[in-house]
Amino acid sequence: MNDRFLRACRREPVDRPPLWIMRQAGRYLPEYRALRERADFLTVCRTPELAVEASLQPLRRFALDAAIVFSDILVPLAGAGVAMTFDPGPRLAAPLRTRSDIDALRTPPMAEAASFVGAAIAELSRRVTVPVLGFAGAPWTLAAYLVEGGGRDGFPAIQAMLHRDPDTLERLLGKLATIVGDHLAFQLRSGAHAVQIFDSWAGILSPADYRRFALPAVRRAIAALPERRGPVIYFAPSAHHLLEDMAAAGADVLGVCWRTGLADARRRTGGRLALQGNLAPHALLGPPASVRERARAVLEDGRGPGHIMNLGHGILPETPIEAVEALIETVHGFATNPIAHAFSGRAGSVS
């Protein structure tokens, strides 16, 4: 197996930064759009054969260094008794606003509630020669959707709960930490080599509120994982003001939003963690020459132990294929140590 990605997560020497792309299985691929004509989003997530097909599509096109299972951060909540639809964003039938709502939230074993995710990971790991990533939403981000009933700018409902009823919010976050930790552990047992935690809405918090509410919950979720586990990546976009606190979550790798320089992130976190990122997604909307120039700048900014090349957010649906090809070509041509190539692994293949 090409273990360039795992070595970089551990801050070990690699010949070049590994590359994968957040939302690499998605709407910018014509084959994914064709798949979605056959099945809606939740059906793809809940059908292992379709989830594996979606996960494999970018690896058939591109020489990437990791695969990520096709799923959604809200999937485990369905097993906790939460009814939802996607049209196209998530919509919950009944927001959780009271103590009794939260007490009714179940915490079933994820091996039962999300068995289809484990099945997809197991099959995917048999089909590829690169590490497989599982993932989950962070407790705070899941709570934001649950209390709001879907996505909304600023998430005013959970902000109100934070100030009016912080004890109830902490109770919800405690339950979600259990769900998230179990979901991540189940994915690792199913064959994932690493996992990523997406804290999509941590950035709406002040540092003090992040330290009181979001950070303890995500630390608890990570602490629930087996001692002998694969690397954990923690990513929160638009959270540059929280970077030092995020470094204390217990992850091995910190995902960095495109709004923060990698060298600055390394300085602010004391060089203790590997870093992932952070080309701006809209940089891929430019011509190939511009993509190559901007990608090289990110690679130089991230030069040092433990850099995983990625975007600073998910790839945009309107991204041209040739822009992704230019990104990959640039990363493949970038040597972290031109003299000592201790590792000569190639990018992965699909069977």
- Residue 3 labeled ligand binder: no
Residues sharing a CB contact under 8 Å with residue 65, sequence separation 6 or more, in sequence order: 2, 4, 5, 18, 19, 20, 130, 131, 347, 348
Q: Which residues contact 340 (CB under 8 A, 6 or more apart)?
A: 13
Distance spanning both ends of the chain, measured CA to CA: 13
26 annotated as a binding-site residue: yes
User: To which residue do tokens 């989003």 refer?
Assistant: 41
What is the set of active-site residues? 23, 27, 36, 72, 145
Measured between alpha carbons, how far is 189 from 164 in angstroms, rounded to an integer? 39
Is residue 25 annotated as involved in ligand binding?
A: yes
The annotation status of 145 as a binding-site residue, yes or no, is yes
Instruction: Read off the amino acid at residue 60.
Output: R
DSSP secondary structure letter of residue 281: G
Residue 303 assigned to a binding site? no
Q: Could you tell me whether strands 253-255 and 274-276 are parallel, antiparallel, or unpaired per DSSP bridges?
A: parallel
Is 241 annotated as belonging to a binding site? no
Residue 72 marked in a binding site: yes
Residue type, position 268, single letter: R
Q: Is 183 annotated as a binding residue?
A: no
Sheet holding 194-198, edge to edge: 67-68, 132-137, 194-198, 232-235, 253-255, 274-276, 307-308
Q: Is 27 annotated as a binding residue?
A: yes
Burial of 284 (0-12, 13-18, 19+ CB in 10 A): buried
How many angstroms separate the CA atoms of 331 and 63, rounded?
11
Please give the Cα distance from 319 to 71 (Å, whole number): 21
Binding site members: 23-27, 72, 145, 200, 313
* Known binding-site residue numbers for substrate: 23-27, 72, 145, 200, 313
